[in-house]
Structure 1
């Protein structure tokens, strides 16, 4: 745990007599005492003294989550369950639960509280805790992530708690609506619980308990309800587990006021409802407020669940150990034998073949057949729902459970995935390596490969921009064989977001010797330098560059092509080789099938001299070839730019034929390929 260092799991806790009211009520009270102390900076044990100059983080949702969790644990057997909470707003509950499970001396707990949100301490929303499958700042995806976890792990019971305000998000509504699309694995179950506290963050929630009930019943759920009575909550939790275990869709609505059990006022200021969301307004230097807090915390610990030395009742710890927030990862399955793809296939055909051979679960918004996922569809690996955010959340859940998963999307819609991918990248960066398979993203129909409505390069650009030490890989295969080998390699990687950008139409298919950059020259050119160089990113760009090479050869002009297959992984030696291939005064042009400015840093690194950058600019025409031409990305456009840069090419060569040559590939092109 990041917030308490050096506390051994399983450390003995001081026994405190178990008061009446049951273990669930005692766990809830202990969790509230810890969470409030954590958020406000009070030393441990309660009532404590102020240790920080300000309160930080969130308070309001934490008691309701603890209430739900306690009763779920009480009504579950000793094997327990995996708990997924929806947002970083539950950071103080997460802290409290870890202390209740693992223990710690009063000094250790006080020190962790003091560090929370303090300069040089721990961030005010916890992130990067080892083996925790979901911690995200975005509201809504937790439901889908939990569905993915339950679908990937036979026998796993998953409970997920979200807020009523969270139910307003598209990601949460899509997960609720499509509960029957992604079913739990054998013996597993998925149990969603809504912490209905009447408030989202700074204002009232849009969904009343009655509206939520009507909405969820209309989606086919059995809806159970309870309030702040322990016997009602226990009955609801018991029945919820029974129904979830049979596979019947069930939701438990736990209705408690936000901030409860804190007083309606503290220090003369409201402290319930949306006022309880953050404790930042509490000034514990105020004597009257401090007296109110002492009185309340004393009453909450009566009869005691926290001893005078900070020890926690042993029966509370036993209950806490039924609630897991971590998930272990099964060893990844061995991949099937690799076989070479046929020469000249469409790149997406080979992506489909690799995904099917490796039994990767494919989550796709729509049109799996249009995206050439024929083998995956036949093998039952594809789940389609027209909700990109939900597909991304499902893939997150599968990946965290140790099952390889891929989101396949048109690039035009893929920016809807960007926020969740950013959250997942933060998780991967913050925690120790966990050995998870990659969360794979496959983008099709970039640029001119589809109608104008389907054209957009923003997601590829957003991922490329992360670069550096961020665990993201963006690969632009040179053709079908390249797509197959590169995807196989990506699926062997761990703890990354792995993105493949490729086409659906047949293209030239040069061999791929590996590495971040590949060089291509006319066969028999000898040791002489090329007359000009084209730097190409993307399989269509490589095809057009090689076609330009073929057109120029009869005129005695040697054009070399450098394909940047993985721009984000150019090491020192490769960067030097690419620079040499593009070194002035040799004319050069850069062409990509993403927006050129996405690659500006790479282009400037490999060719500091002025060079034309050709890329997708959201210009389109009636056909894919018209769109290619409108963006200035055809083979003739490349030759024209090279001529303008000083390459000795005849003007007659720059006139494209009247017929649409979009599917005309040079069959007599003889070239050699090398890894740079």
Structure 2
């Protein structure tokens, strides 16, 4: 491999002192990395290495680690020389031992974990704990100081980095992208994040594409394409690529130092010109990036058992395996460790040598101690508007129609305005802010956009705090990075397509769960989803847009992390929105429709209802003095509408029937209290749902979800759920409910099936409901819309009157 000096603006050799310090820091990090993978004793090789010093199970990844530590050591020099504010996003999360090693050398690890001290005993514990029962994970997990990105699942590093940089004007995010990670779809889309980064008020991202040539067992695409094609790719993405290539450490140190200085100079020049007004107006800057090409498993064994190892995929995980079966590998391991000359790197006590400690920045300038990588330290609560200032005036149930998410948009507009100076709140979404009726936010901010703006464009601006890109992965990554560095936000998405980020959701939930057991990790703002354009309002787009299953994905996570809210109208949606924006270390999922729909609760009633999360709607119930004949429960806006319509039919046709209406806003209340903090005790649940009466439950999503949440309750055998049954097409709104048996007529059917006292009237009423369903079917096929009695339906009070606003 030829050494390259391509793109150097000047050749200034590192001083011998700087070169020695950087190289020593790098060698020490490599030594500590190998020790974590292999050793459980004899950490400084003070005696000949024997098999009993080696872990019985060898876990971890060496291949990417030396490159990660090489970058880390050079960033330390930049931070010290420039007093730069830098955090490190490690895309190749398998390089976890390298990240731990660097944080240990900086001293941060021992400050946070005093039992892992900076001496021989601490080093022994550092080695033994890695990928060991009762120890730490193998990735750059939350346990690692300075990490905001685990990287176990590849593809999200760059979007996390840009999310961290938004509204952080002094922060530089060094983001290492592995060449395997670069093949993922989420990462490929994330390169476009530079089209949204404003150098006036945002920080900078320095992508470092690390090409070591191989994945687990295959070459990587970007490492094999011609260099001119590689350069053209990133020029096309809008970056200025700077190359560092080779294998000789001294030449690579010199080249990396030159290129890092050049990149930092370019970043500072871009920011200075934008902030003092001397830069070109209306043009997106061309940000620098670094392409580092170094051997996989750099400085490791060249060959093992006659097979190429360094610079090949065999170095990906554990280059020397099967030590018990192959004793000569123990000697190879010892020689490999001694090649770093640990006697120069650590003193007699096992403490890193003074010149190594001098190579690291101090205090909060250490990347492992930077407060932006522990965002809860910087988090400040949002200023929120008064709920009553945004309330829909509801003088009685069903008195007025409104677009629930539009009311939410007005609330979010005020959130944007109240926090304008703080710049700590953003909305992200895949081109759906206006579609989901949140467009009122554009009265106080625009969509962020650094490309050309045409005269006919609307709501595009350089300074916007709404981020829209048609990549759910990038939206999720941006918001996660933004939250993990101490800010607040909301992700608005069509319900069916939020599934695109199922795996990202899982990873973030695991991150939050792990953080709950790490005392020094301060709480960060919750990840809040608005899922609108939901399953029952996608009749125009058809079957492909009809899927409420994200709730079920969420319910697989720990109860302490996940919350699911199904507000039935605008005022309850406002209450839920206000609540979730005050929470931390949670993932909050709000499902709410956007069409004009009937409103049920005043703001005062909505506040009471949402605080409880569940409750009896006395105004909709009949015969409320004693136990009901049937409980009609509902969760979701359309299920609530259909339940009330069914109650109205039953009240008219079977006036003697005692009906209790129970509405659920917080889905987690259905779980037992010992399983979820919001859950109801058994006595509370029985008081609402009775112990022996039929419960007809109209639910927004898949019916089995309600059974899953309630299967241990006393009355579970009497709970009969109607919801989405994977039936859909392009049809009318009401027909969507009919196809899935969630409509008012099928709900009446269920009551007739399960309430014993109605046995004598079942046949006639069932025939009447069947007739209505046949009438509906014929009408929509003839007219292309729902029947007038469906379109014009409204709630009628018990005395037969309607409430007019």
Give the aligned partner of residue 253 of structure 2: 230
> Structure 1's 538 and 402: CA in aligned 2 closer, same or farther, altered over 3 A?
same
Mapping 1:310-329, distance limit 5 Å: 310-321=350-361, 322-325=365-368, 326-327=373-374, 328-329=377-378
Give the aligned partner of residue 9 of structure 1: none
Q: Deviations over 1:125-154 (max 9, x none)?
A: 352326732224210101101100000323
Give the aligned partner of residue 230 of structure 2: 212
**1:70 maps to 2:70:** no
Q: Distance in 2 between matches of 1:46 and 1:508?
A: 75
Give the aligned partner of residue 90 of structure 1: 95
**1:41 maps to 2:39:** yes
Deviation for aligned residue 1:575: 4.6
Give the aligned partner of residue 264 of structure 1: 302
Q: Distance in 1 between matches of 2:366 and 2:791?
A: 58
Which sits farther off after the overlay, 205-214 or 169-178? 205-214
Q: Distance in 2 between matches of 1:575 and 1:516?
A: 16
**1:629 maps to 2:652:** no
**1:116 maps to 2:130:** yes
Find 2:750's aligned residue among 629, 634, 641. Answer: 641
Q: Distance in 2 between matches of 1:274 and 1:500?
A: 45
**1:479 maps to 2:565:** no
- Structure 2: any 5+ residue segments left out of the alignment? 1-15, 111-117, 272-285, 395-400, 417-424, 447-464, 674-678, 777-786, 800-805
Q: SS of the counterpart of 2:222?
A: coil
Give the aligned partner of residue 568 of structure 1: 668
Contact 1:542/1:563 (<8 A) preserved: yes
Mapping 1:263-662, distance limit 5 Å: 263-266=301-304, 268-272=306-310, 273-279=312-318, 281-285=320-324, 286-301=326-341, 304-321=344-361, 322-325=365-368, 326-327=373-374, 328-339=377-388, 340-342=390-392, 343=394, 344-359=401-416, 360-378=425-443, 379-380=445-446, 381-431=465-515, 432=518, 434-450=522-538, 451=541, 452-469=543-560, 471-511=561-601, 512=606, 513-514=609-610, 515-522=612-619, 525-555=623-653, 556=655, 557-570=657-670, 571=673, 573=680, 575-583=682-690, 585-606=692-713, 607-621=715-729, 622-646=731-755, 648=758, 650-651=765-766, 654=769, 655-656=771-772, 658=776, 659=787, 661-662=789-790
> Structure 1's 447 and 330: CA in aligned 2 closer, same or farther, altered over 3 A?
closer
Q: Deviations over 1:563-622 (max 9, x none)?
A: 222222443655533434433653331111111112222243443224432111221241
Q: SS of the counterpart of 2:616?
A: strand
Q: Distance in 2 between matches of 1:233 and 1:318?
A: 19
TM-score by length of 2: 0.77
> Structure 1's 239 and 660: CA in aligned 2 closer, same or farther, altered over 3 A?
farther
Contact 2:629/2:659 (<8 A) preserved: yes
> Structure 1's 187 and 367: CA in aligned 2 closer, same or farther, altered over 3 A?
closer
Q: SS of the counterpart of 2:87?
A: strand
Mapping 1:136-175, distance limit 5 Å: 136-175=151-190
- Structure 1: any 5+ residue segments left out of the alignment? 1-17, 672-676
Aligned length: 653
Q: Deviations over 1:365-407 (max 9, x none)?
A: 1232111111123333421101111110001011112211111
> Structure 1's 485 and 191: CA in aligned 2 closer, same or farther, altered over 3 A?
same
Q: SS of the counterpart of 2:196?
A: coil
Q: Distance in 2 between matches of 1:365 and 1:442?
A: 12
Q: Distance in 2 between matches of 1:522 and 1:240?
A: 67
Q: Distance in 2 between matches of 1:334 and 1:348?
A: 20
Q: SS of the counterpart of 2:707?
A: helix
**1:200 maps to 2:208:** no
Q: Distance in 2 between matches of 1:670 and 1:337?
A: 34
**1:54 maps to 2:57:** yes
Q: SS of the counterpart of 1:413?
A: helix
Deviation for aligned residue 1:670: 5.8
Coordinate RMSD, CA, aligned = 2.5
Contact 1:68/1:254 (<8 A) preserved: no
Q: Deviations over 1:200-219 (max 9, x none)?
A: 23321121262432321111
Q: Distance in 1 between matches of 2:257 and 2:146?
A: 29
Deviation for aligned residue 1:525: 4.0
Contact 2:384/2:414 (<8 A) preserved: yes
Q: Specify which structure has the bigger relative contact order, considering alpha-carbon pairs within 8 angstroms and separated by 6 or more residues.
A: 1
Contact 2:527/2:586 (<8 A) preserved: yes
Deviation for aligned residue 1:88: 2.7
Q: Deviations over 1:152-201 (max 9, x none)?
A: 32311111111111111111111112321244662621111011100123
Structure with the bigger percentage of helix? 2
Contact 1:131/1:434 (<8 A) preserved: no
Q: Deviations over 1:42-96 (max 9, x none)?
A: 6422587434223211111010111122222223423441111114302101110
Which sits farther off after the overlay, 399-408 or 342-351? 342-351
Deviation for aligned residue 1:478: 1.9
Contact 2:141/2:149 (<8 A) preserved: no
> Structure 1's 126 and 164: CA in aligned 2 closer, same or farther, altered over 3 A?
closer
Q: Distance in 1 between matches of 2:720 and 2:439?
A: 39
> Structure 1's 544 and 438: CA in aligned 2 closer, same or farther, altered over 3 A?
same
> Structure 1's 179 and 660: CA in aligned 2 closer, same or farther, altered over 3 A?
farther
